[in-house]
Every structure is written in structure tokens, then in C-alpha cells.
Amino acid sequence: MKKCIVILFAVFFTSCLLAQNTAQLVVNGYNPQTTISRHIYGHFSEHLGRCIYDGFWVSDTLNVKKQGRIRLDVVDALKKIQVPNLRWPGGCFADEYHWRDGIGPRNQRPYMVNTNWGGVSEDNSFGTHEFLELCSLLNCEPYIAGNVGSGTVEEMAKWVEYLNSDAKSTMTDLRKQNGRNEPWRVKFWGVGNESWGCGGNMTADFYADQYKRYAVYCRNYNNAPLLKIASGANTADYNWTETLMKNVGAGRMWGLTLHYYTLPSGSWVTQGKGSATSFDEKEYFTTMKSCLYMEELVTRHSTIMDKYDPAKKCALVVDEWGVWTDVEPGTNPGFLFQQNSLRDALIAGTTLNIFNNHSDRVRMANLAQTVNVLQSIVLTQGTKMLLTPTYYVFDLYKVHQDAKLLPVNISSPDYVSGNAKIPAVNVSASQDSTGAVHISLVNIDAAKKINIKAALGGINFKNIKGQIITSGKFTDINTFDKPYNVIINAFNGAKKEGNDLLVELPPLSVVMLELK
């Protein structure tokens, strides 16, 4: 009798453990309606540290392939992941940038001090023409942030005219003198940046009035309608979103921004943000919990926007996001140079899943920043170039660009640390124009494999192809000596069982499945 009880208990205990490590997933493939905008996969490049200078824009004497001074191995890497848009010139730098300093003969351009980022001299050799040539090489849309903080309405209006007008005027004549006959017809236009902070320390009411004033004079020229983007909230400042939606209204702005950075420490007020490469599991857990806060932020800001804009005409534009750590030891603290680990890849995959699942409202986002700054996708060192773990997530996820969102519902086991817990698995899914279904799965649990049983409504498939990003430790990085530690590999842990999909998801992994 006792033996039977022991056996029954063992079976029960084993089934409980299996249940704890099993996620139930439902993917709805019936009549998808929402498109995941490719612009969710945008990037951000500021005049900060080594992002522009010594990143995209290098010395004439550097022995790498270049077009002018634009570094082409970086361009080729970004083209591979189909970068859809690039935001420039800031960031905080945007509101002290005067565009006329960055046009004309380079040896005649004035110098300035970059007071936000390191106090270094800015020679303005990379300006409007250089940025738009870079975007042309990348085959991406430029997204320009205009100066509201220290600029004038006239200055911004004339920049738009210089970029977009094909009529005869002093501005178009000046553009032609500087070597560009045809207008660029730039459509994405930010009216200020972080106007609540480094962009002017404004109140929401004051900025709403300023936005309306500036936006009036940002004119639509022939075949060049503007998509104007208002400077939105910092993290959980829901009053800012409420005020802008009420006082400006969806009809006057194409988008409203949200800025949120994942901090390992969980707070800006602590002594340090945390290391990019040296952290334990407790700090890893705190970082991932901070990352998942994006779900609440997007949901709550979207709910406010829905009240004033039920038709969802105005986009939520998360044009600064990513992990922000302490700088690497020995580097300029104003340059924000940090390494990039497997943890960062898990943050990127998780955040992009959140954006995909909210793509009815989130229609643009920009990772901060592209090269050598914050959560970069590319690092450079002299003639060497390195692709980070985050880069490979964007390579995996590019299949979601402009695909139809497939709604998902997941019941995930928890990842537990002390008395705290967060969902171990997150997911998004889409169907592309060929009918192929892509499911992106992230397991943030540091130790446990998660078994997933997925019911796929309205989805017929015969073949499964899988790819994975993972490594042995969440601190693993790519280095210039060992650049392929954390890359994409084949994944064989998924199979079809009847009409269901079964997946064995390793710990610390980002997986992309293609069903055909």
C-alpha cells in the first residue's frame, strides 16, 4: 500500500513539475487584420560619442571601404537587416543643433561644443547632406528631429523647405548650390525631442502650444506631405500623453513619442545603472523585469490615446528604447559606450514582441543607438567591425516587417527570483505575403527549459524551420577577438503533432520558427 502511495505521489509530483515548465500557446490565424509596420524596426543615431564620428563617418585615412567618409561595412550590415528608418541628429543633441551649421563646404562649417555628450568639439562635417546620403545607401527612410528647444519656428520651417520644396526660392537655390538639385521629400519629422527634459524643460501644456505653433509652419510641399511626430512622454508620465492628445489632437500629429530605457538597477536614482557585462542572476532578473515594464507602459499610454483617438490614427512612436548600463571602464562617461550581451538580445526580442503585439497603435520605434552607443547593434574598433547579439535579433525578426499580426494568447510558467516572479516566455506571430507564418519566442528563464504546446487556429503547415540565438551564460558577449560567440544557429526543437506545434525552448533563448 505504501509503495503504491509513493508511486502515485511520484507521478503526481513529476506531472506538477512538467506542468510548471509547460507553456500553453494559442495563435489565431483566422483573418488577420493588423499590419506590423516595418518602421517598428527603426534605429537611432545621435551626435553622441562614437556613433556618428568614428562609427558611420570615419577619417579619410581609415583603411576600410568607404563612400566619401561613410563606412560601408557598417552600411552593408544594416542593409542586411533591412533597417526601415534612421532617426537623427538626436536625442538631446537635436535641440542644440542648428542645421545651417552642417551644410556647405565642410572646411567652412563652424565648430560647436556638444554640451550634452562629453563637451567635445563638433566640426559639423556630418550634416544634412551626409545624413541623407547615408539613408540613401541604407535604402531607408530618414527621420529628422527638429530643434524646438533652442531653435526658432523660422529655422525649422526653412529646414523643411530646404529638404522638400521643388519651387524656386532662396532655400532651394541654396540646396542646389550645395549639390542637390532634387528635393529629398523627407516625410518623418519630429517636432522637438524630450521637451519635458533636455529639450527645454517644458510643461505639457506649454509644449502642446509650442508644437501647434511649430507644426503650422512645417509645410507640405509638392509630393512631400509631412508625418509630424510630437515629443511625447517620459516613461509613465501619463499626464503628458493626456495633455497632448487633448490639446493637440490626433488630427495635428501623425505620431506621439514615448521614451523608456531598461535599467539593470531598476532606477535612475541609484549610484550606478549596472554593468553591461558583469552581473549576477539577481541583477539579470531585475533587468528583465524592468524590460517587461514596457508592456504596461505601451498599454496604458495606448488606452489614453484610444480615449481621444478611437480610430487609432495617431501612432505611438517609441523612438528611444533599449538597455542603458554604466559605460565600459576607461571610456568617456559622456560617450555612453557599453558592451552587448546575451541579456541584451533577450531584451531586444522581448521588447519587439511587445511592439508587434501592440502594432495597432505602435507603428514606429527606434532602438538607441545604432553604432558604439548604448544598446548598439554594431561596434567598431579601428578597421574592425563587430555585430552584437542584439544585431542578430533584428536579423531574425526582420520577417515580421509589414507582415500581418497573428494574435497570440500564452499561459507561461513563471521565472522566479526570491519573492518576485515574471513570465518566463513571451511571443509574437505574423503571416507574411507568401502565407508563411513566423513565431518569435523568448525564454528569459536563466535555467529552465520550457515546453510549449501551441494550438494554431486557421494555420495549415507541413514544414518547420527554426533558428535560435542562445549561449551558455547571460553575460556572454561578442568581442573583436571572438566575434561569433552569440550568433544565429539552426534550431531543431520544434515538431508538428497532429494540428499542434510542440517546442522545447532552451533557457536564455530567442527562437524564430517559420511554418509553411
Per-residue pLDDT of the chain (516 residues; tens, 9 = 90+): 434 433 333 333 334 434 568 999 999 999 999 999 999 999 999 999 999 999 999 999 999 999 999 999 999 999 999 999 999 999 999 999 999 999 999 999 999 999 999 999 999 999 999 999 999 999 999 999 999 999 999 999 999 999 999 999 999 999 999 999 999 999 999 999 999 999 999 999 999 999 999 999 999 999 999 999 999 999 999 999 999 999 999 999 999 999 999 999 877 766 689 999 999 999 999 999 999 999 999 999 999 999 999 999 999 999 999 999 999 999 999 999 999 999 999 999 999 999 999 999 999 999 999 999 999 999 999 999 999 999 999 999 999 999 999 999 999 999 999 999 999 999 999 999 999 999 999 999 999 999 999 999 999 999 999 999 999 999 999 999 999 999 999 999 999 998 899 999 999 999 999 999
Q: Which has the closest alpha carbon to 439: 304, 368, 349, 365? A: 349
- Model confidence over 42-88: pLDDT tens digits? 999 999 999 999 999 999 999 999 999 999 999 999 999 999 999 99
Residue type at position 318: V
pLDDT of residue 268: 73
pLDDT of residue 15: 43
pLDDT of residue 295: 98
Contacts of 92 (CB under 8 A, 6+ apart): 46, 116, 117, 193, 194, 197, 198, 199
pLDDT of residue 345: 98
pLDDT of residue 13: 34
Residues catalogued as catalytic: 194, 320
Domains of the chain: 21-32+406-515 (2.60.40.1180), 38-402 (3.20.20.80)
Pairing of strands 384-387, 425-431: unpaired
Cβ distance 204 to 239 under 8 Å? yes
Handedness of CA 367, 129, 135, 314 (dihedral sign): positive
Handedness of CA 422, 425, 431, 434 (dihedral sign): positive
Handedness of CA 229, 81, 132, 367 (dihedral sign): positive
Asked if the peptide bond before residue 423 counts as cis, ω within 30 degrees of 0, the response is no
Asked if the peptide bond before residue 49 counts as cis, ω within 30 degrees of 0, the response is no
pLDDT of residue 265: 84
pTM: 0.94
